[in-house]
Structure formats: C-alpha cells, structure tokens
A and B are shown apart, each in its own frame.
Chain A
C-alpha cells in the first residue's frame, strides 16, 4: 500500500504542477484547450490524493509498523476510534490531510460554482493546484513522506499521545484545518479577479459561501480547541494566548472583518482595496499559522518538532506574499471607490470602525506572538510577552468592538437623523443600563466585567428589538401568526437575522469571558478524611473532602484515581474523581509521560475543576488543585449559538434572494450616481 501511496503522491504532484501551468497559460492566453486540461488536472489530483489518504489509513488500520509514520503514532492497543485520527496526529500525515482537503475544495469550486461566475475558474484552478502542489512537494522533498518505511519492523508502535486521545481532539484539528484550508478558495477567486481584471462585485458574490464556510469552520475549530484545552490539559482555563492558539485566532479576526466590510462594497461600492487586502491577508495568515506550528521559530508548547519543513513554509509564505501584493499593487488604479462616506453617523462608518478594531486586535496579537523574534532582531535580547499582555491590550479593544456590535445594526446606511437615532437607541441603551444596575445590585464592582455586562445587555436588546420589529411588521402586514412570522423573517433574510444570532453568541461569549475574572483556586495536600474549603464568587462555600485513592489497570493505561466529596454550604452535592494516567504499551511498559484527567462538575453558574497533582509515595495522601471557574458552560453555549447563526446565514437557498436584493440595491445606486450631474 505504501508503494501505491508514494506513487499517488508523485502523480498528485505532477498533476498539480500541470494544472497550475495550464491554468495560468490557458487563462492569460484564453486557450480553451489548456483551460479544459487544467480543470481535468484539478479533479485528477483530488483523486490521486484520495488514493494516498486511503493507502495511509489502510496502513494505519493494518498496524503496518514497518511504515515509520504508523509506528510513530499508533499502537496495537490504541482504541479504533483514535486510529483514524492518526492521519493528522503527526506532521507528515497532517500535510497529506491539508493537501487532500485543499484539493477536494478546489474540485468542489470547479464543480459547484454558478455558471455566471465560471469566468473566474481557470485562474482559481491554477491557484488551488499550485498551493496543493506545494503541500505535496513538502512531503516529497522535505523528508516528510508519510509512506517512508523503516529498515526493520517494530513489534508495536509508540502509540498516540494520550493527550490526543480525547474525542475533542478527533474533531478539533480537522475543523481548524478545514477553516485554514478553505480560505484558499476565496483567495484564489480574489487573485483570479485581480489577474483577469474582472473587479466588479461578481467575485464577491461568488465567494460569499466560501468565506462563510471558512469562518464557520474556524469558529467551531477554535471552540473545540478551547474545550479540549479545558478538559484535557488541566491548567484550569481554555485560552492561554499560546502562539498556536493565536495563529488560529488571527485569520478568524480578519475573516470576521471581511464578512462585515464586504457588505459596504456590495451596497456602496466602497472599500474595494481594503476587502481584497483582507482576503489576501487572511490567506497569508492561514499559511503563517501552518508555518509557526511547524517551524519551531516561536517556542510554543503545542508545536510540532522543529524541522526543515519550516523553511519550506517560510519561503512559501514570503514568495506568496510578495507575488500577491505585487499583483494587488499593479491593479490598484482599477480599484477606485464608487462613492464616499457621507456621514460619520452611518452604518458604513460604524462598520469601518469595527473593521479597524478587528484588524487592530489582529495586529496586536500578531505583534505579541512575534515579539520574541522582533525584539531579538532589534535589540539582541529576546523579550517575551504572555497572557497579561494580550489581555491588557485586547480587553479594551474587544469591549469597544462589542459596543460597535450593537451600534452598527442601529444606524442606517448613508446617514442617520437625530430622531431616527433616538428611536433606535432608546430601548437598547435602557437595556444596557438595566444590565449594569442588576450586576451592581448583585455586588459586582470590577470595572471590565461591569462594562462587559453593560455592553452585552445593550447588544442583546438591540438584537431583540430588531427581531421584535421585524416580526411585528410581518404580523401586521401579512397577518401571519407570530411564530410563522418569526420563521419567515429569518428564512427570508438569512444573512441579516443569522448575523444577529451570531451577535447573540458573541455577547454570551463576552459575558462568559468576563466571568473568568472571578476564578478562584487553591492547592491542598489531603489525607483521607481531611477537607479544604473554597469560597465561590457567588458567596457560598464549597468543602472538598478527600475520600481516598485507588489504583487499577485499564485498556491501555494504569490509572491512579482520587475521589473527593463536594459539599456546598455544608450540604453534600456529589462526588468528583480525578485521575493520573500512565499509558502503557502491549507489554505493560510505560509509554509517554503521565497525563491528568480532570474532574469537572458543571452547572450554569460555575464549574468545579479538580486536578490530581500527585499522590505522596505509598500513602493515600493526595495533592489536589481545586478551581472554581464561573460561567464556563456559557463559552460552549455561546460557541454553539455562533455556529447556529453561521449555519443560518449559510443555509442554501435563502441567500439567492439576499444576493439579488443586494445587487438590485447596487444597481439602483449606480443608476442614481450616474444620473447625478457631476
């Protein structure tokens, strides 16, 4: 199978090169035969890479430990569920996964693009082929061929890192990869529009679903990553501003900015340069993310082994950045805005500020992530920044952004009159003040959480007001029943109301993040029967009583489990267990470092989070860390609401109406502008 796999990689590489060359030549010289050939190459490359993936999976499932990759990431006693994820557990396999998924997306773009956007496809095919061929070439020429064989056959493999043996880890990396990878399609359309000088709004319409798709995958991938870090890593939080986390956050920020600013281009013909820049930037950031997770240039606890693969990505990043911005610069004269800002009190202006904030946040995160390198290059001494830096910078910026989340939808396009503003802002502003008063009465005195609650309530009421007005308008106009009116309101304006639902999710997330400001924890060494108390931010007291330690063997691990009884204000509410696991191979020899299973008890108000740090040798005396994390469940709920809103926006069908309407609005505007004496 490995011979077939290697062969498939070579075939895929040649097809990719062919697809790129014929695509570029065919598109620039308008040669139909070359264009057709390039298109066929895209599909054939996808097929070849699928063959390679199947070959690798077969090797994994057959426990063919003569294959270095199989021996390195799986073992005989690995649960079947996790064997599949061996495909992307290691560097080499994840490169194959990247290339394959990109190739599938490339083929889907060729296949599914609507007839009137097909003019962009030759360049799109050329660019997706080029990028996919690059990933295949890293495998072939960067000592990263997953099909490499060992000179001997080990009896058993080294197994999968126990921290990756978690259901979240089976879905988190592919989701994030899908997000990263799918940005290539909008990027390819943007480059195609630049190269072919077809720079009207058509290419924006063509990529709408793709940009939403990458944004949705990134959002879900980031949330799953937070969940995994929270339940598996055991340090007590879900976001540590680690370089790898930042790398996934950066394209999410720029894509979010794009999803907003693109509306201005559709409606008003402004921001053409900015939007193209955002798409190119998002794509480069996705490659940058791949680069820093693989190259080891920035010390991260998450990173793959340092390897020569980093040089490939570094070079690719530089070459792509230079090439795409060179073409961009050459086309700048064609990207003049068709109208200008009329008033600061307009939706355009509020979207522009929101964009500046999103890009500002992205820039500060990038700067903080790269600061060790920058400072070493400039001053000769490496200076690092950690979570405090990112929090100090991003909490105020994030809150300002939250404010614009509420302001934007309330202001009309072009300009707003004062009575109009009063009508729009009265209820939401009152809602914000009410939220503030409620938490003040509850005894909260911390500045940022207070601001977060105030703005969060403001935004939430904004969204409710929009829904109420929309529903009652339908109810009046068409005498629809309330629920039917709500359903139709959403389904007829998916982009707008789906977007509002995303905003609700974002509000929930902000409130949940604010809750972490009230995290409390304590560490204790307890004999059986001894207990320790911890005061919750809600005012009650938890008592944890150590019950005892048990040791036993499970499928592929030796477990040391410690159990505590939990009481709230003296009343027993349950038991919690936390484990130290030593994973073993088929012969019972230890593999990997020990790992920790966290004991978590969640409710809507707070999580009890218990970690077993160790057991004093030979006794039942256990060392614990007890943490109270307020509002953590709301992070997961918020993530789900964001995903739901994203799905509504993306759902096929309803988009067409919105697109036609947007184009109609644009056409009306064009007519109006042309009719005007200049």
Chain B
C-alpha cells in the first residue's frame, strides 16, 4: 500500500505538471482566430483591441495584391464579404499565394488599421494540397 501511495503522489505530480504546462502554454501562446467581420465586432466592443497577436482567415480581394520583390514585401486586402482589412507582409510568400486564394494571416492589427502579418498561409481548397509555411 505504501508503494501504491508513493506512486500515486508521483502520478499526481506528472498529471499536474502536464496540466500546468498545458494551461500556461495556452495562456502564453494562444491566438485569436477571427474572420474580418469578427475582428471589426471585437474592435467595436473593445476599442483597444490593437497590437494583439491573432490569426485572421479570409479571402484575398482579387486584384488587391501588390508585390515588391526587391524588398520582399507584399500588400493585399482580405475580406469575408462584409469587412475588409489591408495586410502588409514582409517575407517570402508561399508558392500557392495569389489573389484568388483563401489565406490565414497571422499578425497584429496596428493603429494604422493595417494588419502587419508575420506569417501568411495560403489554403487551396480544391484538392489535396500542402502549402509551405512562409
């Protein structure tokens, strides 16, 4: 019985640390995943919702993409039909990125109203498709 008790203490320690690591991990690294209209709703209820790490999933507005290869900067707009936000991304765009794809933009909305992206994932919904991370 004594060994059983000791084991139970060890088990509680392990389970506890797994739980603690998970809780703190989510608190520290979790990110909102929003659509443009959810983002504008958030801003309406909480006007200080700037400079918060988030992901925004939407479609690229056709014809809105401007690329500057030399400085590796892409600017484009994303929209879900009801709300639209401009995005600036400095870095290498994924191969599949163009102006008709669905994207997940990771970054922060700044006071200038532009989403400064740290990562752009392009999603091609039509078939099995794996996309390199930018």
Q: Which residues of A contact B (CB under 8 A)?
A: 72, 89-91, 161, 163-164, 229, 233-235, 240, 299, 301-306, 340-344, 346, 349, 352-353, 356-357, 360-361, 363-364, 367-368, 371-372, 375, 381-386, 388-390, 392-393, 396-397, 400, 523, 525, 580, 593-596, 611, 613-617, 621, 623, 625
A593: chain B residues within 8 A (beta carbon): 95-96, 98, 124
B133: chain A residues within 8 A (beta carbon): 233, 235, 240, 301
What is the minimal beta-carbon distance from A599 to any residue of chain B, in angstroms? 15
**A393 and B14 contact, Cβ closer than 8 Å, known pairs A234-B132, A305-B126, A525-B70:** no
| Interface membership of chain B positions 33-60, coded 1 if the CB is closer than 8 angstroms to chain A and 0 otherwise | 1100010000000000000000101000
What is the minimal beta-carbon distance from B120 to any residue of chain A, in angstroms? 11
19 contacts between A and B (CB under 8 A): A90-B128, A229-B130, A299-B123, A302-B128, A341-B7, A343-B3, A352-B11, A356-B11, A357-B14, A364-B18, A364-B25, A367-B22, A368-B25, A382-B34, A384-B32, A389-B30, A392-B21, A397-B18, A617-B69
Q: Which residues of B contact A (CB under 8 A)?
A: 3-4, 6-7, 10-11, 14-15, 17-18, 21-22, 24-26, 28-34, 38, 55, 57, 69-72, 91-93, 95-96, 98, 104, 121, 123-134
Q: Is the CB of B22 within 8 A of A525?
A: no
Q: Is the CB of B91 within 8 A of A523?
A: yes
**A614 and B18 contact, Cβ closer than 8 Å, known pairs A343-B3, A384-B33:** no
A233: chain B residues within 8 A (beta carbon): 130-133
**A353 and B10 contact, Cβ closer than 8 Å, known pairs A523-B92, A525-B70:** yes
Q: Is the CB of A392 within 8 A of B25?
A: yes
Q: Is the CB of B55 within 8 A of A384?
A: yes
A616 to B71, CA, bound (A): 10
B128: chain A residues within 8 A (beta carbon): 89-91, 161, 164, 302-305
B34: chain A residues within 8 A (beta carbon): 381-382
Contact of A364 (CB < 8 Å), options: B21, B98, B129: B21
What is the minimal beta-carbon distance from A364 to any residue of chain B, in angstroms? 5
A536 to B133, CA, bound (A): 23
User: Can you list the 7 inter-chain pairs with the closest CB atoms, starting with the nearest?
Assistant: A235-B133, A360-B18, A613-B92, A382-B33, A233-B132, A388-B29, A593-B96
What is the minimal beta-carbon distance from B131 to any residue of chain A, in angstroms? 5
Q: Is the CB of A616 within 8 A of B69?
A: yes
What is the minimal beta-carbon distance from B38 to any residue of chain A, in angstroms? 8
Q: Is the CB of A363 within 8 A of B130?
A: no
B98: chain A residues within 8 A (beta carbon): 593
Most A CB contacts (10 A, CB to CB) among B55, B69, B71, B91 go to B69
Give the residue name and chain of the B residue nearest to A364 (CB): B22
Contact of A356 (CB < 8 Å), options: B14, B38, B92: B14
**A381 and B32 contact, Cβ closer than 8 Å, known pairs A90-B127, A397-B21, A525-B70:** yes
Q: Is the CB of B123 within 8 A of A301?
A: yes
What is the minimal beta-carbon distance from B133 to any residue of chain A, in angstroms? 4
A386: chain B residues within 8 A (beta carbon): 29, 31
B21: chain A residues within 8 A (beta carbon): 364, 392-393, 396-397
A397 to B123, CA, bound (A): 32
Give the residue name and chain of the B residue nearest to A229 (CB): B130
Give the residue name and chain of the B residue nearest to A614 (CB): B69
Q: Is the CB of B69 within 8 A of A385?
A: no
Q: Is the CB of A344 within 8 A of B22?
A: no
B17: chain A residues within 8 A (beta carbon): 396-397
Other contacts beyond A301-B131, A361-B18, A385-B30: 14, CB < 8 A = A161-B129, A163-B130, A305-B126, A344-B10, A349-B7, A381-B34, A382-B32, A382-B33, A383-B26, A383-B33, A392-B29, A393-B25, A613-B92, A614-B92
**A596 and B15 contact, Cβ closer than 8 Å, known pairs A341-B4, A342-B3, A382-B33:** no
**A525 and B72 contact, Cβ closer than 8 Å, known pairs A164-B128, A625-B92:** yes
B7: chain A residues within 8 A (beta carbon): 341, 344, 349, 352
A596 to B131, CA, bound (A): 11
Contact of A596 (CB < 8 Å), options: B29, B70, B95: B95
A144 to B108, CA, bound (A): 41
What is the minimal beta-carbon distance from A24 to any residue of chain B, in angstroms? 36
A577 to B123, CA, bound (A): 28
Q: Is the CB of B18 within 8 A of A623?
A: no
Give the residue name and chain of the A residue nearest to B119 (CB): A386
A361: chain B residues within 8 A (beta carbon): 18
**A383 and B30 contact, Cβ closer than 8 Å, known pairs A164-B128, A299-B123, A360-B15:** yes
What is the minimal beta-carbon distance from B32 to any residue of chain A, in angstroms? 6
B6: chain A residues within 8 A (beta carbon): 344
A234 to B92, CA, bound (A): 11
Q: Is the CB of B104 within 8 A of A385?
A: no
A523: chain B residues within 8 A (beta carbon): 72, 91-92
B15: chain A residues within 8 A (beta carbon): 356, 360
A364 to B69, CA, bound (A): 40
B28: chain A residues within 8 A (beta carbon): 388, 392
Give the residue name and chain of the B residue nearest to A594 (CB): B95
Give the residue name and chain of the A residue nearest to B130 (CB): A302
B126: chain A residues within 8 A (beta carbon): 305
Q: Is the CB of B92 within 8 A of A623?
A: yes
